[in-house]
Structure 1
Amino acid sequence: MKMNGRVALITGGAGGLGQAIALRMASEGACVVICDVNEEALETTRGMIEQRGAQCLALRCDVSSSAEVNAMFDRIDARFGTLHILVNNAALVPDKPHDDERRKRHYALVTQPLPRQSLEITRNMDDGEWKRFWAVNVDGVFYCTRAALQRMEPQGYGKIINIASIAGISAMGAHSPHYSAAKGAVIAFTRAVAYEVAGANVQVNAICPGGVQTPAFERYLEQQSPEQLSVFQQVMPLGRLGKGEEYAALVSHLASDECYLVGSIINAGGGTYI
């Protein structure tokens, strides 16, 4: 119960990796706050957390809106009085049909003897697609971090864990340059803020997951042909996706008082990028 007495906020906590992190925090004794835009999934996850005996506050919040983020933190103050742990997990991911097509072209280029060629993605991307990813994946991290530090710095304690991606440290996200740029910004922001606030006993770190075994990703893989699955597995040395519980265990360490790391960017992609 190493999180006993701590209040932890996990953004995008209603499903997938965010849910796994929230459940891990609950199992370790934290009071858990989850936010998401999916209200039905929020309620489902809230029930799962409370079944573990933890207090849970489930809030609808679009983190790309500073007004909604500020209102959420007011609710946290009213319920728990403060915040000790922030996990910036909420993000848009490239999961539309055109993203799938881009990903297939990219993986084919790196695993098959094809002539060198451009993927022709950036030149065809419109303003709206770029700005949507930036608003959630970068602005949202800033808004939540700013609000969290307004509580953490005066109390002289805090842990912030940003969920970045191997797409932000490698060319593995060449099929999604807008996503890569956003996650790269999160990494740079992590380093800068970590140095800034370490003197207030606030530790800021980031992890860079590779593929995460979520129901959505599993549905995607089920739709692929055996040949496409083989190509996908070639870029993953372990031949499998990382489990939510595996990533959650790492986040739990970074959020604990056993952690001495500051400004670390942890490559947690299962060897996809070494």
Structure 2
Amino acid sequence: MSDFSGYPIEQEDRAFLSSLPNAEGNVPLFGSYEEQRLDPRELIPVENQGSVGSCQGHALSSCMEWCYVIATNGQRQQLSRAMGYYETQRIDGINGDRGSTISGGVKLAKNVGLCEEPLWPYTGRYQPTRPGNWQAITENAAKYKIGRAVQIRTYDDFRAFSGSLQGGIHIGIAWGNSMSKAVVESFSPGMGGHAIAGLCLSDRVDSQGRPYAWIMNSWGQNVGSREHPGWHEWSPNAISQMLRHQWTEMIGISDMPAAKPRKFSIEDWKSKLRV
């Protein structure tokens, strides 16, 4: 398979991804935590990559924004989609608007971070030249580095990582047309690569009581759920099928050491509790 756009699967650094620890040894056992279904749809904006092959940059920024929300007890911060795309391309050694890899994105997130969106805004056009304020960008990006990345190998890994609110799952798959549905019950791979963000579990469950997962796309609000445009729900069966496919990569990214938890005042708590 070589005809990929946006997410060039054939250029993944698989040796690097294979070197990451498995999630199963880094997440709490089922029953040892209260499974969370915090809904990111109120906190992470749905974006539109347009005609640029920047899906990986969008997915990476969404996962890292979710890490920031978790680390700060609910604070929002939009991170640079442009930096997520173009700097990953530099790591990958890819020239031109030909996408970027999950492995390159994880390296960027761990070693450099992503700056805030206003410092390197997304224009909807392919513009890989670094802005003139590069020192300010790298200093700002360092505040948003992630501390940990793990391989997601099974649905149970996916469920435990998402359910315990550790961070976002950075996903690259062979995208088929059926994947644009609101609810994806089974995986039908296509000839195009696409990167998306797995951010939390859904209240929907299968016949075994296993929760579906909410997946955030970067094609604006004309795909996915009618109730929640831009979002898809993936079934446990579909996730398991994806993870058995040779071109799938799912990497859980978490921990943002420089992010400070939000301090709540009495008035904050009154507002939350509606006292």
After TM superposition, the score normalised by the length of structure 1 is 0.23
| Higher RCO (CA 8 Å, separation ≥ 6 residues) | 2
- Structure with the higher fraction of residues in helix conformation: 1
Greater Rg by CA: 1
After TM superposition, the score normalised by the length of structure 2 is 0.23
